[in-house]
Structure 1
Amino acid sequence: MTLIDGPVSEVLEDTSLTPRSRHYLELVQSNARRMLNMVNQILDFRKLQHNKMSLLLEQLDIRVLLEEVMEQFEELAHQHRLSLSLIQTSSDLDSLWLDRDKVEKLFFNLLANAIKYTPDGKAITVTVAQHDDGVSVTVADEGQGIPRERLEDIFQRFETVVKSNLFKTSSGLGLSLVKQFADLHHATVTVDSEEQKGSRFTIAFKHGKAHFEGDMVDYLVDDGAESRRPSGVQLLQKEPAHEVEKTTVLVVEDNPDLRDFIRNLLSDQFHVVEANDGAEGLQAAKMVWPDLIISDVVMPAMDGFELVSRVKADPDIYHIPVILLTAKAGVESRIKGVELGADDYVMKPFSANYLRARVNALIEQRRHLRLRLLESLSEKAGGQTALSLEPSLPHITPADEVFVQKVMAFMETNMDNAQLTIAEFAEALNLGRSVFTNKLKAILGLTPVEFVQEMRLKRARQLLDTRNFTIMEVAYQTGFNDPKYFSLCFKKYYGMRPSVYLKQSTEVLDRTDTTDITDITDTTDDTDDTTAHC
């Protein structure tokens, strides 16, 4: 359907089309979308059959929603001289917790059904009324009516009670979906009909959200929405994030309620830092070095676009992925965000589960990138191949490559330097010690001490594999002054002492050589591990 509607929409943008061609293309587009609606109804039907349909709740003004649905029928009503009106009997209406998509489909089917069976020149009226326990919506028509003995059958699947209608054909799914969508909302459906006078369908929705307790629902959040999880509502299952204890998320949002909601949403998995606007967010990013930034677009002092631009232009924090939250639906704003370097774009109102999934996905991508970088560094440490980063890996930038190459080049020249300090390492890269530490940890997931230790141990393994050096020589060549300490660190990292590793690798490569390779310096007993800190 996308390959029909998409190209047709593109061609309709051409202002040079003749009126005749435009009419035919609009006809194609209209029927393609009608077909898509029918396909979606069949899919909804299948989900309902297998009890796999859940609700995505948000607080809605039911009158506004009805007006939007009724707009879709104005042209058809005009063609058949039908009066289509909306009446509100109460001055004020309470907002309701509803699934927008399903309630739109519910009333779309009711109105389509009313228009099908109402003769030209008659009226269809939608009435909204406030009650003590909820809000009711009645769709009344002046159509053919339904025989009283058939009223109990109208909500059955594939049941068509009245054979003659405006569209000639009917799937028999519309009213069945109406009933099941209402049931999902714990709403009641009543029908009153008289032959040759018309029918009245009334949907009664309940106030609040207590009736959803125990249901599998998610909910949408907007700037004006409540910042707390609805009582008794069970969120969809979430996947655990990797390295939870090390992961920090910076939330930049000027709306305190929405910021508080996002903090509550993520705080069970991540350490959450908050900022009120873009300027404060940029300062926080430089101070705390978060693993990910979530930012609103429209904010005072500095908006989200400028924040992304500043972050991606800063050589110290450019690597931090950024998710933009925005109510701007236009594709132009999305393109602008992506061009500035935003890693993801989430539209308001957004699903809590969707936002959490995007956060987890980006952090997981960074984790995989770190592993790939470390694998590349390991190969270079062993002298096997040059550092090679695939262009398809997520979030690899030229600045990342340059930084990693500089780090590895310095490490290569100081592999045997037992006096190497982190301050010297940072100074060689023209960075402050804290900036260097944070940058290395953000890109590779290791502190400088962990990185140096890992590179030295991997180089040690490569040297042992050559079988050209004793364990003592390997220890000194990789920056260990004490061979015994080297043996302890090697065992902690690889699970065996160097002598055991060397013996095993020798036996694998040369089964005929039975020489017992040992070294007087590798005399560490297993119990020594408890006092060694590698």
Structure 2
Amino acid sequence: MGSRGRVLVIGAKAGSEALLAHLSDSGYQWAITEDMQELASLAESLRPDAVLMSATGKKATEALSAVRQESRLRELRVLADLTRSRSEVLRKLPVDEWVRSLEELSSRLDSALRERRVMERTRNRMERLLEITQAATSSLELEQILRLAVEKVGAVINADRCSVVLVEDVNSRTASVVATLEDPGLSLDVDLARYPELRRALETRQPVLVEEAQRDPLMAEVRPTMTSLGVRSILVQPLVCSDELLGALFLRISRGSEGFGRDEQEFAQAVAAALANCIRNARLHTALKKKRDELELAYVERYRELTEANRRLKDLNRLKDEIIAVCSHDLRAPLQVLLGHGRLLLEGGLDPQQKQSAEAMIRQGRKILGLVESLLERGKGDVARLSIEPRVLDMSTLCKESVTELEILAAERGVALRAETSEIMMLIGDELKLHEVLQNLITNAIHHAQDAGEVVVKASRLARPDGDVARIVVQDDGKGIPPEELPLVFDRYRSGAKGTGGTGLGLAICKEFVELHGGEIWAEAPAEGGAAFIFTLPLAQEVSRAVQNLPAKDTSEQPRVLVVEDEPEIAAVLVEVLRSRYRVDVARDGAEGLARARSSKPDLVVMDVFLPKLDGLDAAVALKSSSDTASIPVILLSAHQGVADKVRALNLGAVDYMSKPFNAMELLGRTERALKLRKAENELERTSSLMRRSGNDPLTGVYDRRGLMLRLDHEVSRGRRYSRPVSLAVLRPDRPVLDEALRGIPDVMRARLRTQDIIGHMGEGVLAVVLPECNVEAGRNVIGRLLPDVEKHTGMEYRSAVADVSHDSEPVERILERLGAPPPVPKL
């Protein structure tokens, strides 16, 4: 007969014979000691299920303290033996129970042992559940997790079968056994018709407990099979996660005396919840992986389609270029014949009326020829749109011609169209592009003028500190534009000016062309009604200075530039662009250019490649071959835009190569770079002087106080015109900053600022930043991110202040000083 349990008795053996005999007769295994030194060894050897305190007096208190300190005994129930002594000390001991008679002893011990076993079983199951949960959240494969789960469940539940069954479709008649305790590698499909308990659990999504398989009505159809297998009890726990049925945990007991108690059912439910979450996550991961693979495949297919579409677009673009070239050529040839015969007619004897008609024919023929050239330019795409073919022209004349051309359109709509120009205004620009700007604006005004209304085109000269500009106003007397839409009318793809439903490209193109010439365009709502579109263009003598922000120099200080160009019109444009900064000489062919270069030793030569008498490339070789002219930089110009020509020119010694038609601003920039290659330390000092006089700080390369004030006035005017904020920030050091610490500071600041933000050095290390289209709060955030970089670079602590100058009536100079900038240095 097996032991009912193990009891450790603490007390003297003498006098405890009746107690020990009762334990032996009741089937308990026991050991007794009163020496606390033996307590640990007895606990290790006996492994008791309960402790019976038989000691009395002070020894009982000491013994209980020793039991509570022993790790193997502290969780056991402690019973006090009151069968022999009922001392007050023993009664007051903090034990779990008191035994007052030997008859009570067995029942008390059995209760303690049952509690002990329940605690051990619960702990064991919690440990297994924790292992299953940890495995479910690990990186193991799903099959490994499920096999580990059935193994752990089988270790704590006395079941002869433990399996995980999965279903793919809730309406399916089959399920898959993916893990089972009997055979870890088993994987098979089962017919749910043979397992009514499993079928019901999946249908109802509720646990199914069959306590007696031989008597349960649910098992009637399969009872013969159950009888032969000796099945006693079955527990099926569905696997459900987020209202999704995934399968079931199947447990079966055969020929056992115990079924599935409440503890086993709760444990199976907890395991099922962990497994359901694991299975659902695994399925989601598989679905995501499949989706990712599908997306990658779709991306590859889409990339192939786009590549093919791009190839077809390139083919179509080449075809378009060919069509445009053929059309323009076929149009150009008869136009040249028409113009030729028109000139012959003018040379003959014609009466005044015939002569006027012939002149009109020639004039209109030239305009058509210009449109053909424009068609060729449009065929080149955005590259052509962003370049200009500069020539000297009179803006007043261009306004009058545009008005004359559109008088017929105005008359058809009953609108009076007139031009008001008072003086000649020469500028350098692309006549076709400016003509298109005027045509767009005038046509737009005619369409929106009142019936029997009036459209006026005004051209006037406007004086500015940095150079005079031409101011052109195209005004109608129509309904006008709402104030909130004035800053938006030039946005691309808006629904036309004043809501006419157009494409919204005309005004956007006007803005591009005007800004390409260094001008500005905007819309206003005049007090007398209607709408006015206004744009400004730098006049000829000031265009390069307006772009470069440099004042005119004394002739004695200007570098000499030799222009070698055989076409008089292009030579005139080159001279007009360059003479505001340089002394310019002109040669008409390569031989003359070479002779003048050898005699006058210019600082720079700008030379066409295709020249009479001596080719530009040969002239460049001759200059580089002579010791007295080898140091003169050469910039070559050519209408051929091939890369091979550029490489050849540079290999022959040219410092730069530009294609025709060229951009005036780009030409000035390249000449400046070419001259810097020749000037060393002497040029550095001269450049510093120029920068100081032009508003730039020679130490840092950013604006000085004067230059910043000019730019700030311009930005404030623009901000007030378009109702956009302009913020000004001043960064002041705690003490003067050394010059060396400020070198490189623009690069540090530019890394945190936008392209349109403006930097200035006010002196003494005080820095100022102009932030267009930025309110004070956003400005403080920008400066807050910038300040640590400035302090790290200079090694100084800085304070900052920000103000909105676009809505402040106080003079900007006073705002600067209020923010911490030093006062201006008085002029001597």
Bigger Cα Rg: 2
Q: TM-score, normalised by structure 2?
A: 0.24
Q: TM-score, normalised by structure 1?
A: 0.36
The answer to which structure, 1 or 2, has the higher relative contact order (CA under 8 A, 6+ apart) is 1
Q: Which has the higher strand share?
A: 2
